[in-house]
Homo-oligomer: A and B are copies of this chain.
């Protein structure tokens, strides 16, 4: 089961996540399951960070031996991909808003909320385009939001990747770095302010005139909500998309 494929070219564990690959009734009844393994791994990542997820730790959590896991997953990378899929969860149900922009904004916020619930997910290395069930389901919903626009299908996908990439990036900056600081015990009321103070020490007005000018306004010292950067970026991107949508109709 570990290395075989059945036409998709996907790893066996991911085919299993899609529900393909029914159990062949031969051997002893499995005491483990892919789902339980992924759940355990997610639990570890949620409490101690992605770095704490090791095969032995996951196995210990489940009360089995380390090597048992390799009956369900052929390498740790696959487990990580499945963890990421679990972090996304299914996209919000129901019909998206009629207006593409509000629908798509909802979609972006929902995705961001998933990352907020599972900050470690942004650190799962990306090795291929999305091919797990929930990833594709989120893609489906994103496309559905753009249904009523006149964008070409290729453009819709491009918009999707643009925005999902943005959400992921922004989530890393906000949730992941924040979670790391929290784990280290630092309160980090305002990382922005600390960064500004650091830059002030490193830069001189001669070699870094623009940076110094920016620092001098003191604007970077003001805390600002954790959502500010997200709102700003999303608005800019959607303004740009809106221009394209208008041009196409």
Q: Judge whether A143 and B202 touch: CB under 8 Å.
A: no
Known contacts A214-B153, A237-B236, A158 near B229 by CB under 8 Å = yes
Inter-subunit contact B177/A127 (CB<8 Å): yes
Per-residue interface assignment for chain A, residues 25 to 44, with 1 indicating a CB less than 8 Å from any chain B CB and 0 otherwise: 00000000000000000000
Inter-chain contact A127/B162, CB cutoff 8 Å? no
Residue pair A198, B152 in contact (C-beta under 8 Å): no
Nearest chain B residue, comparing its CB with the CB of A122: B126
Are A238's CB and B240's CB within 8 A? yes
Number of identical protomers:
2
Q: State how many angstroms separate the Cβ of A241 from the closest Cβ of chain B.
A: 6
Number of interface residues of A (CB under 8 A): 69
In the complex, which residues of chain B have a beta carbon less than 8 angstroms from the beta carbon of A219?
152-154
Q: CA of A244 to CA of B28 in the docked complex: distance in angstroms? A: 64
Tell me if B166 and A203 are in contact (CB < 8 A): no
State A129–B202 Cα separation when bound (angstroms): 14
Q: Give the interface segment out of A2-10, A55-63, A81-89, A104-112.
A: A2-10
Task: Say yes or no for A128: interface residue by CB 8 A criterion.
Answer: yes
Query: When the two chains form their complex, are residues A202 and B237 in contact, meaning their CB atoms are under 8 A apart?
Result: no
The minimal Cβ–Cβ distance linking A79 to chain B, given in whole angstroms, is: 17
Q: A126-B172, A153-B220, A220-B153 are in contact. Are A211 and B140 (CB under 8 A)?
A: yes
Name A's B-contacting residues (CB within 8 A).
Answer: 7-10, 18, 123, 125-129, 131, 136-137, 139-141, 143-144, 147, 152-159, 161-162, 165-166, 168-170, 172-173, 177, 180, 191, 194-195, 198-199, 201-203, 207-211, 213-214, 217, 219-220, 229, 232-233, 235-241, 243-244
12 A-B residue pairs with CB within 8 Å: A7-B201, A126-B177, A127-B180, A131-B202, A136-B211, A140-B208, A158-B229, A161-B233, A169-B169, A236-B237, A236-B244, A238-B240
